[in-house]
Amino acid sequence: MDADFIAQILFSAIKTGTPLLFIALGEVICEKSGVLNLGQEGMMLMGAVVGFLAAYSTGNMAFGVLAAMAMGCVMSLIFGVLVLHLGANQVATGLALTIFGTGLSAFVGSDFVGKTIQGFNPIPIPYLSSIPYLGKILFEHDLLVYLSFIMTVLIMYVANKTRLGLTLKAVGENPNAANAIGIKVLRVRYLAIMFGGAMTGIAGAYMSLVYTPMWAENMTAGRGWIALALVVFASWRVGRIMLGAYLFGLASIMHLVLQGFGWTISTNLLAMLPYVATVFVMVIISADKFKEKLLAPRSLGKPFDPRHMA
């Protein structure tokens, strides 16, 4: 165990945590507007398969990412219409989205299983990447990781410092009051849902274009769900989401760490670790009911129908 090894581990933790970060950033915006979208896993798989297909057939990575974003938007739009216009239960609709996305992605991608592409290349940032250790950890990544850094800062700024963020918070706390003062609640929620979909699409593309890079059925392995837990863990705060994503990333690559210590444990048991860690975190973070009530968007998961405002 030396400093280089630790730097390598932290570098990998960031890489592994990046898809979680993308999803959680999208979902936190969605949840702040009062909508709980449990369809992340399905949207992510669709993003992964469509991103892979687009990149594979055009050879253009950026096109793959854009296609995955578009796919995420379309998927989330289906969700949006069902929960916002047809008044469907948010939990059930989110589950439907996941089941649909899992099935459809396997169907669409069945001819592409096992094919590989040349993924995004790492781009070391000049000067910054030569900072000892820190450069290795933070500045030798690929474009999408840098994009996730930028998005984190951007979302933190928008959510906390702008009128848009204020509007979002108002809609999530009390949609009826927001409607009464003339905020277009459904429009805000649609946009938030679609933003969430686009971010999840990028996360999917990250899996199939950078992380592996290939397409396999069910390749996201529950990351969509873990990201949902991450949002609760972070108490809907953007900065903590980033930290949490990397911690989960670290839990996912624990086998590397343990190999560093010279321990050998069955990989199948180690594979449970991120899930066990998620359960553990859910327990710790939610135990304080008082705090959760204070921090969670108040109308989260509850339907809002402007036609019923008699």
Residues 123-152 that bind another protein (CB under 8 A): none
Distance separating alpha carbons of residues 232 and 146, to the nearest angstrom: 24
Which of 34, 64, 101, 196 forms a contact with another protein (CB under 8 A)?
Answer: 101
Q: What angle do CA 246, 248, 251 make, to 5 degrees?
A: 115
- Smallest gap from residue 4 Cβ to another protein (A): 31
Task: Report if residue 239 touches another protein, rule: CB under 8 A.
Answer: no
Token pair recorded at residue 134? 């820190």
Among the listed ranges 2-10, 55-63, 96-104, 131-139, the one in contact with another protein (CB under 8 A) is 96-104
Closest to another protein by CB, 49 or 203: 49
The residue from 59, 103, 124, 239 that contacts another protein (CB under 8 A) is 103
Among 24, 38, 84, 245, which residue interacts with another protein (rule: CB under 8 A)? 38
Burial readout 213-235 (b: 16 or more C-beta within 10 A, e: otherwise): bbbbeebbeebbbbbbbbbbbbb
**Residue 264 is a binding residue for another protein (CB under 8 A):** no
Q: How far is the C-alpha of 260 from the C-alpha of 249, rounded, in Å?
A: 17
Window contacting another protein (CB under 8 A); options: 20-28, 106-114, 136-144, 188-196: 106-114
| Stretch touching another protein by CB under 8 A, among 1-9, 196-204, 246-254, 264-272 | 264-272
59 with 118: CB under 8 angstroms? no
For helices 185-205 and 61-80, the axis angle rounded to 10 degrees is 140
- 191-220 residues in contact with another protein (CB under 8 A) are 217
For residue 71, the surrounding DSSP H or E stretch is helix 61-80
Q: What is the CA radius of gyration of the chain?
A: 20
Q: Which is nearer to another protein, 211 or 225 (CB)?
A: 225
